[in-house]
Amino acid sequence: DQQVKQNSPSLSVQEGRISILNCDYTNSMFDYFLWYKKYPAEGPTFLISISSIKDKNEDGRFTVFLNKSAKHLSLHIVPSQPGDSAVYFCAASAGNNNDMRFGAGTRLTVKP
């Protein structure tokens, strides 16, 4: 069963604009959420995380928002750059369980 869902398989934005990637989850036990970025022929690399005690975490151009009541999180990239073009996976886990569940990924294309 897909406990973590990324309903948009792809997203295309213009350089300099905002990219918003969305993720929904169903398991209310999840309390730690992560975003990974994956380039072709490479393993995913950690981007940013947020725990359920927060509703926002910012790191440079990347901000993750968490809406626990809606079981929804989003990743904002501002401003988007062509080098951000990659597949983005959201992931979730319960704090005491290292079984991490991933979404199917969203392919972001940033056009110059």
Partner 1 sequence: KAGVTQTPRYLIKTRGQQVTLSCSPISGHRSVSWYQQTPGQGLQFLFEYFSETQRNKGNFPGRFSGRQFSNSRSEMNVSTLELGDSALYLCASMWGLQYSYNEQFFGPGTRLTVL
Determine which residue in the list 7, 26, 51, 81 makes contact with partner 1, applying CB under 8 A. 51
* Side chain identity at residue 48, one-letter code: I
> CB of residue 30 vs partner 1: minimum separation in angstroms?
12
> What letter would DSSP give residue 62?
E
> CB of residue 79 vs partner 1: minimum separation in angstroms?
25
Q: Where do the DSSP E strands lie in the chain?
A: 4-5, 10-14, 19-25, 32-38, 45-51, 56-59, 62-67, 72-77, 86-93, 101-102, 106-111
Task: Report d(CA 74, CA 64) in Å as an integer.
Answer: 6
Nearest to 49 by CA among 62, 68, 33: 33
- Asked whether position 25 contacts partner 1 by CB under 8 A, the answer is no
Determine which residue in the list 7, 9, 56, 81 makes contact with partner 1, applying CB under 8 A. 9
Over the window 63 to 102, marking each residue x when it contacts partner 1 by CB under 8 A and - when it does not, the resulting string is --------------------------x-x---xxxxxxxx
> CB of residue 18 vs partner 1: minimum separation in angstroms?
24
Task: Report d(CA 34, CA 9) in Å as an integer.
Answer: 18
The residues that touch partner 1, with contacts defined as CB under 8 A, are 6, 9, 32, 34, 36, 41-46, 49, 51, 89, 91, 95-105
